[in-house]
Chain A
Amino acid sequence: GQNIDQPTEMTATEGAIVQINCTYQTSGFNGLFWYQQHAGEAPTFLSYNVLDGLEEKGRFSSFLSRSKGYSYLLLKELQMKDSASYLCAVSDSNYQLIWGAGTKLIIKP
C-alpha cells in the first residue's frame, strides 16, 4: 500500500531551528509537497520538490532524496506564528496525491 509517515507532534523553542521529516512509500513519484495549516484554517502551500536536493525559501527550506523516499522541512529562526501543522503530500505515478496525517509543531517561548 501507499504510505506517508510524519511525526505526530514536535515541540521547539522560539528562535531555534526545527526539522520535520517525511518518509514515503508510493507507487512511483511525481513530486512532494509541503503545506502549512494553522489550527482551524486552510492549508497553504509552502514548497514543491521534484528533484533531489535542498530548496530554500526564506526561513523555510525543503529537502528531497528520491532514492531514500525521504524529505524534510527545515524551519529556521522559529517564530510563535510558526505554530501549526505541517502536511507532507506525495504525487504518485498516477498523479494521485497521497497526504500524510500532518505534524503538529508547538513553539514555546
Chain B
Amino acid sequence: EAQVTQNPRYLITVTGKKLTVTCSQNMNHEYMSWYRQDPGLGLRQIYYSMNVEVTDKGDVPEGYKVSRKEKRNFPLILESPSPNQTSLYFCASGTGDLAVGEAFFGQGTRLTVV
C-alpha cells in the first residue's frame, strides 16, 4: 500500500531534550516536506527537500533540522525543543513540487513540549 509513515504518532517531552520524528514514504517520491498545524492557522511549511541531499527552509524553520540521506526518509529533528513547538506535525511527499501537484500526507505526530 502506498503510504507516508510517521513515527511516533504522539509524543510528550520536556524542554531541551532532543527528539527526532521519522518520516518514510514508499512511493519513490522525490519531493518531501514537513508542516506544522496549529489551531486557527493554516499549515506552515518547516523544511522541504526536492531530492536526496537537497533540503531548503520553509516558512518556519527556526528550531528544526532535517536531513535527506535516502530518497524514502526525511526525519525532522528538534535539537532543543521548546513549548512553542507544541503542535501537530505532518510529513508530506509528492512526485514533484507540492505547489503544483498532489501531496500525500503522513498520519501526523502530535508533539507536546512541557
A31, B99: Cβ atoms closer than 8 Å: yes
Q: Which of B57-99 contact A (CB under 8 A)?
A: 59, 90, 97-99
Q: How many A-B residue pairs have CB under 8 A?
A: 50
Whether A95 and B99, one on each chain, are in contact in the complex, defined by CB atoms closer than 8 angstroms, is yes
Interface size, A (range): 20 to 34
Complex contacts, B43 vs chain A, CB 8 Å:
43, 87, 89, 97, 99
CB contact between A102 and one of B4, B42, B44, B107 (< 8 Å): that residue: B42
B52 contacts across to A, CB distance below 8 A: none
Cβ contact within 8 Å between B90 and A101:
no
The residue that B42 contacts in the complex, of A30, A48, A101, with Cβ under 8 A, is A101
Smallest CB-CB separation from B88: which chain A residue?
Answer: A40
Cα distance A93–B47 when bound, in Å? Answer: 19
Query: In the bound complex, do residue B106 and residue A42 qualify as a contact, i.e. CB atoms below 8 Å apart?
Result: yes
**Bound Cα distance from A103 to B42, whole angstroms:** 11
Is the Cβ of B100 less than 8 Å from the Cβ of A30?
yes
Interface centre among B44, B90, B103 (most CB of A within 10 A): B103
Q: Considering the chains assembled together, what is the distance between the CA atoms of A40 and B106 in angstroms?
A: 11
Contact of A87 (CB < 8 Å), options: B42, B102, B107: B42
Q: Give bound CA distance, A87 to B103, whole Å.
A: 13
- With A42-B90, A101-B40 as known contacts, state yes or no: A95 contacts B100, CB within 8 Å: yes
- A51-103 residues with Cβ-Cβ distance < 8 A to B are 87, 89, 91, 95-102
Chain A contacts to B: CB under 8 angstroms = 4, 30-31, 35, 40-45, 48, 87, 89, 91, 95-102
User: Can you name 14 A-B residue pairings with CB atoms under 8 Å?
Assistant: A31-B99, A41-B107, A41-B108, A42-B4, A42-B90, A43-B43, A45-B102, A45-B104, A87-B43, A89-B42, A95-B97, A97-B98, A99-B42, A99-B43
